[in-house]
Amino acid sequence: MARQLPQGSRLVLASHNKGKLREIEALLRPHGVDVVSAGDMGLPEPVEDAPDFAGNARIKALAAAIATGLPALSDDSGFCVSALNGDPGVLSARWAGDSKDFAAAMALVHDRMGDTADTRAWFVAALCLAWPDGHTETFLGRIDGTVVWPPRGTRGFGYDPMFVPDGRGITFGEMDPDEKHAISHRARAFAQVLASCFG
């Protein structure tokens, strides 16, 4: 049985990505959890050297939980393109470089895709909840769609402006944040966290 996180718990968000922090805080707000970010606590970013999203999420959550003595929730997510054999995938942030230039990262995706007719793409999110004793629980979410060029919209973050989810006519970058939060890969993983750990 999954461990419960009672109302009033203090939880570390093990991320330094402001876009992810905004989304996860919005998802947690209704559940009476006191949220503090790893960045606000001065925690360093651990090396993410796992070969998959779940492994990297576990690295981040455990590092924060052990360092603070509090439960910690981490997210490792990325943009995967069929024509690029799933790249950038776990390297999604690294494609943006040290300056986090996602306009350049999106251009790199577009350039590497060339003139392929295969525009299928998906976002994956792995959320990991870790406790200071080393216990972890991981939850995966995915949303499928297509790549568009040029990018559209200034909302969201990362690769959002070049991704249209299946069944929608606009990119994540054009969507109202509440609409995106209702359907995103992160929301799908988070729904599992809520069902499992918030009773």
Catalytically annotated residues = 76
Report how far residue 115's alpha carbon sits from residue 111's, in angstroms, rounded to the nearest whole number: 9
Q: Decide if 73 contacts 193 (C-beta within 8 A).
A: yes
DSSP strand pairing (136-147 vs 163-165): antiparallel
List the one residue out of 79, 157, 153 whose CA is nearest residue 113: 79
